[in-house]
Amino acid sequence: MTIAPHTEWFTVYTFQEDQNGTARVQALCDYMQEAAGNHAAALGVSIDRLYAEGLAWVLARMRVAPVSLPAVHERIQVETWPVGVEGLQFRRDFIVRGEDGTVLARAVSHWVVVSLETRKVGRIPAFIAAIALDNAATAMDDGKSRLPEAGEEWETGRFRARLADVDRNHHVNNVRYMEWILESLPEAVRDRMRLADLEVTFRAESFRNDVICARTMPDGRENGFAHSLVREADGRELVRARSLWHI
* Residue 3 pLDDT greater than 90, yes or no: no
> pLDDT of 57-102, one tens digit each?
999 999 999 999 999 999 999 999 999 999 999 999 999 999 999 9
Q: 27, 92, 31, 29: which is closest to 64 by C-alpha?
A: 29
Asked if residue 168 and residue 104 are part of one domain, the reply reads no
Let me know if residue 136 belongs to a domain: no
> pLDDT of 160-200, one tens digit each?
999 999 998 889 999 999 999 999 999 889 888 999 999 99
Asked if residue 12 and residue 43 are part of one domain, the reply reads yes
The β-bridge partners of 19 are: none
Contact between 66 and 196 under an 8 Å Cβ cutoff? The reply is yes
* Residue 148 pLDDT greater than 70, yes or no: yes
Question: What is the per-residue pLDDT for 53?
Answer: 94
Asked if residue 111 and residue 18 are part of one domain, the reply reads yes
Compute the average pLDDT of residues 14-39: 95
Question: What is the per-residue pLDDT for 2?
Answer: 66
Let me know if residue 172 belongs to a domain: yes
Asked if residue 81 and residue 37 are part of one domain, the reply reads yes
Reduced 3-state DSSP string for 28-82: HHHHHHHHHHHHHHHCCCCHHHHHHCCEEEEEEEEEEEECCCCECCCEEEEEEEE
- 206: which residues sit within 8 A by CB, 6+ positions away? 161, 171, 172, 212, 231, 238
How far CA 124 is from CA of 61, 90, 97, 127, 130, in Å, comes to 16, 7, 30, 8, 10
Asked if residue 157 and residue 106 are part of one domain, the reply reads no
Range with the poorest average pLDDT among 43-47, 79-83, 150-154, 227-231: 150-154
> pLDDT of 104-132, one tens digit each?
999 999 999 999 999 999 999 999 999 98
State which residues form the domain around 59.
6-129
Asked if residue 170 and residue 112 are part of one domain, the reply reads no
Question: What is the per-residue pLDDT for 190?
Answer: 87
**CATH for 159:** 3.10.129.10
pTM of structure: 0.93
Asked if residue 91 and residue 161 are part of one domain, the reply reads no
* Residue 46 pLDDT greater than 70, yes or no: yes
Domain boundary among 129, 163, 179: 129
Helix %, strand %, coil % of the chain (to 5)? 20, 40, 35
**Better-scored residue on pLDDT, 153 or 199:** 199
Asked if residue 106 and residue 204 are part of one domain, the reply reads no
Asked if residue 189 and residue 78 are part of one domain, the reply reads no
Asked if residue 125 and residue 236 are part of one domain, the reply reads no
Let me know if residue 143 belongs to a domain: no
Let me know if residue 218 belongs to a domain: yes
* Residue 52 pLDDT greater than 90, yes or no: yes
- 135: which residues sit within 8 A by CB, 6+ positions away? none
Asked if residue 185 and residue 85 are part of one domain, the reply reads no
* Residue 138 pLDDT greater than 70, yes or no: yes
Let me know if residue 142 belongs to a domain: no
Number of residues in the chain = 247
The CA-based diameter of the chain, rounded to the nearest angstrom, is: 53
- What's the domain count of the chain? 2
Let me know if residue 173 belongs to a domain: yes
Asked if residue 106 and residue 36 are part of one domain, the reply reads yes
Compute the average pLDDT of residues 228-234: 96
